[in-house]
């Protein structure tokens, strides 16, 4: 199995981030996880959300901003890696002048159905 970023269309997830699914079971036929590239433009904030069964790992490629993870809020930038346990509320805010780009590994694979929006502005 293989994929190339240049042939993968981007789409907007429930939390309002723009992602490209670089590897996903529903497309490439892998079994237990997905890998996506997410892009958050300057000034953008994702909606606070959580995943009931999915564990996520974010690895920041470029940009800077803030991450809310449960009751914590901390700065993130290129080179940082964060593990998000199932059920833990989280969101990202890009406070930099350029796109925040990160790789997002999900196990099991990302699903809109496993995304619960928690923010009041989610309507």
C-alpha 31/C-alpha 43 separation (Å) is 36
Domain count, the chain: 1
**Tokens 């199932």 — which residue?**
86
Neighbours of 67 (CB within 10 A): 20
Dihedral sign, CA of 80, 92, 75, 52? Answer: negative
CB contact at 8 A, 56 and 15: no
Domain of residue 59: give its range.
5-122
pLDDT digits (tens, 9 = 90+) for 1-19: 777 777 788 888 888 888 8
Find the range with the poorest average confidence among 25-34, 36-45, 86-95.
25-34
Helix (H, G, I), strand (E, B) or coil at 104: strand
Q: What is the pTM of this model?
A: 0.87
The CATH number of whichever domain residue 46 belongs to comes to: 2.60.120.10
pLDDT digits (tens, 9 = 90+) for 59-114: 999 999 999 999 999 999 999 999 999 999 999 999 999 999 999 999 998 888 99
């Amino acid at each position: 199995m293989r994929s190339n970023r240049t042939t993968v269309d981007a789409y907007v997830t429930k939390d309002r981030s723009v992602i490209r699914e670089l590897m996903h079971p529903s497309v490439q036929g892998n079994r237990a996880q997905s890998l996506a590239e997410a892009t958050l433009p300057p000034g953008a904030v994702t909606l606070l959300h959580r995943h009931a069964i999915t564990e996520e790992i974010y690895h920041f490629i470029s940009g800077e901003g803030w991450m809310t993870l449960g009751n914590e809020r901390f700065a993130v930038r290129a080179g940082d890696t964060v593990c998000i346990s199932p059920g833990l509320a989280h969101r990202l805010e890009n406070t930099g002048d350029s796109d925040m780009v990160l790789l997002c590994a999900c196990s099991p694979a990302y699903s809109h159905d496993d995304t619960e929006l928690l923010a009041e502005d989610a309507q």
